[in-house]
């Protein structure tokens, strides 16, 4: 009898149990005003017995949340693996390939082979330059022996000019002329033109007739010159010149810079 009474009381407690209308959690303490699970306000008399309430599975929300968490973890793992694969591929592509042993080893030096000698072909021979021959001095002695600077320069220049014309080499007379001066450019053209015409010259007389020193570095030199000329056709001619040269002191040396006919 007592056991039947206790069992009836337990069923009454179950039937009269209160539940939250928001989340369905059982309300054990009837004095509570807030639900222990969802913190929703518990209205007096708003709860219903278990036979009338609509229960939702308590494990459903937790189950779906676990599924979402698992999906996120899987995505993170997949992204990490993909990133690692990309890094490995890039590293492999940047690594230089080892040099093959065939290139690393020093190859023996090839023995030079003699080039076949080309058979000389007949080419038109250029006009040979005659060996320069210095003409004998028309004056009895070198002007340097007398210490005459102007006369020495004129004589050396004149002989060098004739030799340059006869062999077509301007460098033979270039050292007596002031580079870039009027006489330098004039005689350079003269040597080339007369050599092309195959004209030969020989001095007969070179005489300094006057020296006019303007200062210690400038002097006007008047000369009387006689020259024998042989043209390309064999014709011979003796020509007389009267020139006035300008001698200047530049770069620790005297040079001839200008020339004009003496009046």
Instruction: Give which of 65, 61, 60, 25 is closest to 42, Cα–Cα.
Output: 25
- DSSP-assigned letter for residue 96: P
Span 49-65, average pLDDT:
50
Out of 62-71, 145-154, 167-176, pick the least confident: 62-71
- 256 in Cβ contact with 220 (< 8 Å): no
- 238 in Cβ contact with 201 (< 8 Å): no
For the chain, give every residue range classified as CATH 3.10.450.50: 147-261
The token pair at 79 is: 């992204």
Q: What is the structure's pLDDT at 52?
A: 42
Is the pLDDT at 172 greater than 70, yes or no? yes
Query: Hey, which bits of the chain come out as E strands?
Result: 18-19, 26-27, 200-215, 218-230, 236-250, 253-261
Higher pLDDT, 151 or 32: 151
- Judged by DSSP in three states, 253 sits in strand
Out of 94-98, 161-165, 251-255, pick the least confident: 94-98
- 208 in Cβ contact with 223 (< 8 Å): yes
pTM for the whole thing?
A: 0.46
How crowded is residue 76: how many other Cβ atoms within 10 Å of its Cβ?
10
Span 67-77, average pLDDT:
88
For the chain, the average pLDDT equals 75
* Largest distance between two CA atoms of the chain: 178
Is the pLDDT at 105 greater than 50, yes or no? no
Span 60-84, average pLDDT:
80
- 256 in Cβ contact with 177 (< 8 Å): yes
How far is 4 from 74, CA to CA, in rounded Å? 56
Q: What is the structure's pLDDT at 142?
A: 46
Architecture of domain 147-261: Roll (3.10)
């Amino acid at each position: 009898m007592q056991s039947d009474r206790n069992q009836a009381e337990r069923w009454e407690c179950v039937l009269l149990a209160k539940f939250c209308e928001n989340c369905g959690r059982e309300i054990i303490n009837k004095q509570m005003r807030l639900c222990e699970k969802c913190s929703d306000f518990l209205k007096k008399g708003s709860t219903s017995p278990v036979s009338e309430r609509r229960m939702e599975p308590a494990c459903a929300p937790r189950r779906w949340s676990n599924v979402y968490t698992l999906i996120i973890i899987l995505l993170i793992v997949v992204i990490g693996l993909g990133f690692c694969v990309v890094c490995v591929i890039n590293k492999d592509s940047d690594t230089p390939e080892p040099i093959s042993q065939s290139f690393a080893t020093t190859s023996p030096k090839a023995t030079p082979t003699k080039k076949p000698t080309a058979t000389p072909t007949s080419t038109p021979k250029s006009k040979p330059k005659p060996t320069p021959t210095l003409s004998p001095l028309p004056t009895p002695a070198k002007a340097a022996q007398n210490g005459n600077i102007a006369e020495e320069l004129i004589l050396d220049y004149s002989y060098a000019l004739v030799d340059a014309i006869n062999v077509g080499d301007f460098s033979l007379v270039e050292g007596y002329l002031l580079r870039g001066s009027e006489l330098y450019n004039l005689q350079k053209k003269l040597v080339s033109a007369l050599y092309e015409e195959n004209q030969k010259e020989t001095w007969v007389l070179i005489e300094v007739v006057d020296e006019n020193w303007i200062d210690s570095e400038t002097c006007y030199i008047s000369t009387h010159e006689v020259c024998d000329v042989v043209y390309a056709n064999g014709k011979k001619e003796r020509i007389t010149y009267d020139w006035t040269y300008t001698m200047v002191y530049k770069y620790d040396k005297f040079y001839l810079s200008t020339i004009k006919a003496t009046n």
